[in-house]
Amino acid sequence: MRVPASFCGVFAHKPTYGLVSQRGLVPPPGVVADLDLAVVGPMARSARDLRLLLSVLGESPIPAQAPPAELKRLNVALWLDEPTFPLDSDTKATLETFVRRLQATGAIVDQITCPVSAERLMSTYILLLFAIIGANLPWTERHLYELLRGPAKIARAMGANALSWAQCVLAYTARHREWLQANDARAQLSDAMQRFFTRFDVLLAPISPTAAFPHDQRPIRRRTLKCSDGHEITYIAMLKWIALATVCGLPATAVPAGLNAQGLPVGVQIIGPRGGDVLTLGVAQAVDEQFGGFRAPPLK
């Protein structure tokens, strides 16, 4: 929900994992257990409406109305630079302008790199995510990935990265022992983030490497995204900036940050500690009221 909200210039809220029941919506028909990583949350044109919608989703304990957070002296960690996480220059410039406006309110902003190991974060995310996808693949496709598992293990051992075909094959065909290892890695990452939020109130980060782009119907592994400077990045890099909150089950509120040089919306995510949904929603509401949020597209 964060990515489409960013592309459309609206607000969205990814709740703390488990805050809103998935029953009847996310799991496949006949499945009772909640789906791993998945959450149910609202999208709206204002932060106030996010809170209202969340208050009625599955009897969430979020109050329907509350005052906005105080931005003055808010302790913000800003994560805009990560060597292996691509970010289009126009998108980054839009986010930097947003951050300057935030600082003008009196918020304290410290630039950081990834609060956890980026490589471990992505390898954990890919295994957990693609294990879910692999469980629902047709038998013929699963069989093909099983045949590729041996070469994939060799490629991974030789240094293939977390978003490589090798890691994806291993995730599609993950054994229970491997899933348990990834689940423990997730728990360790989550513990690290809980410690991180003893030093910062919220973490501000990009949502997508680029603004919205034309539809591409090719197979995912063949798709690319073109950045404003002309270079291309892999489509699967879309997973990178959203991985942290997803893997660790953290609340993340998507807020419109402004328009890029082409006039396209760019969003920013306000990530909080586990259970800190009221905090991220309050910050989003303050930003909405002080900066203005959703801008209706021009009529043609």
- The structural domains of the chain, ordered by start, are 2-213+235-291 (3.90.1300.10)
pLDDT for the residue numbered 143: 87
pLDDT given at position 155: 79
Q: What is residue 225's predicted lDDT score, i.e. its pLDDT?
A: 85
Q: Would you state the pLDDT for residue 162?
A: 76
CA distance 169 to 204: 32
Rounded to an integer, what distance in angstroms lies between the CA atom of residue 261 and that of residue 91? 9
Distance CA 38, CA 139 (A): 24
> What residues are paired with 254 via a beta bridge?
12, 269
3-state SS string for 200-241: CCEEEEECCCCCCCCCCCCCHHHCEEECCCCCEEEHHHHHHH
- The total number of residues written for the chain in this structure: 300
* Bridge partners of residue 44, in order along the sequence: 11
* Helix segments in 69-164, DSSP class H: 89-104, 118-135, 139-157
Residues of the chain predicted below pLDDT 50: none
| DSSP H or E run through 188 | helix 176-196
Half-sphere exposure of 211 (CA within 13 A, CB side): 21
Give the count of beta carbons closer than 10 Å to the beta carbon of residue 243. Answer: 21
Q: What's the confidence (pLDDT) of residue 21?
A: 85
pLDDT on residue 168: 86
Reported as a single tens digit per residue, the pLDDT across 88-127 is: 999 999 999 999 999 999 999 999 999 999 999 999 999 9
In three-state secondary structure terms, 168 is helix
Q: Which tokens is 65 given?
A: 């109305």
Model pLDDT, residue 220: 75
Residue 300 confidence (pLDDT): 61
